[in-house]
Amino acid sequence: MEKKMNVHRLVQLALLVAVELVMTYTPLGYLHIGPLSITFLMIPVVLGSILIGPGAGAILGGVFGLTSFAQCFGAEAFGVVLLGISPVRTFLVCVPTRILAGWLPGLIFRAIWAAEGTRKHWLSFAAASFAGPVLNTLLFMGALLTFFYSTDYIQGMVSTMGASNPLMFAAMFVGVQGVVEALVGFIVCTAISKGVWKPLHRS
């Protein structure tokens, strides 16, 4: 029985990795509104973290991070500039942050689930679903500020935006994009994960 469950989890993980890759390289993963580029790539990451476990979320986050890093080699202008400044620091901004953003929602889900006991577990799904995109934004921006804020490129953006400090720059840089990603991720991941939890975990 345990071996059968492990096979099922591997199949589920493989399907979510496939979904992640399809979303990455098609318009399904991004919504472009004027200068904004809103990504929905955290959705399969968070779903894997909730439905399969934190380890699966970390793997899916790693896939997201690696594809994000790959886009710095010509596909995404902002990433291209960062890569030109420092490939190592760009990797640290793109990959470890997404691994953590995939791993932590699973831990949050399990912690709240255990604390709720026999009561309804809707809060577990909602909290983890909201945490995923929010953590992705916070970790990415934290790494960006840590490794690139003092560079001429980012300081040029700071000056153009009129930001007086790193926190203001982060808020202005993320803006509407971060809010939309958080809301969409929260609604979609909560609905899907709660809806399929029982069928997937039925003995």
Query: Looking at the DSSP assignment, which residues form a beta bridge with residue 145?
Result: none
- Secondary-structure class of domain 2-200 per CATH: mainly alpha
Query: Looking at the DSSP assignment, which residues form a beta bridge with residue 38?
Result: 31
Q: Which residue has the tokens 């889900």?
A: 109
pTM metric for this prediction: 0.90
C-alpha span between 46 and 120 (Å, rounded): 20
Whole-number pLDDT of residue 147: 96
Whole-number pLDDT of residue 201: 74
Whole-number pLDDT of residue 177: 84
User: What are the per-10-residue average pLDDT scores of the chain (203 residues)?
Assistant: 68 94 86 68 96 96 95 88 96 97 96 74 91 95 95 93 91 86 93 89 64
Where b means 16+ CB within 10 Å and e means fewer, 147-161 reads: bbeeeeebeebbeee
C-alpha span between 162 and 31 (Å, rounded): 26
Whole-number pLDDT of residue 1: 46
Domain range annotation of the chain: 2-200
Whole-number pLDDT of residue 104: 97
Whole-number pLDDT of residue 31: 76
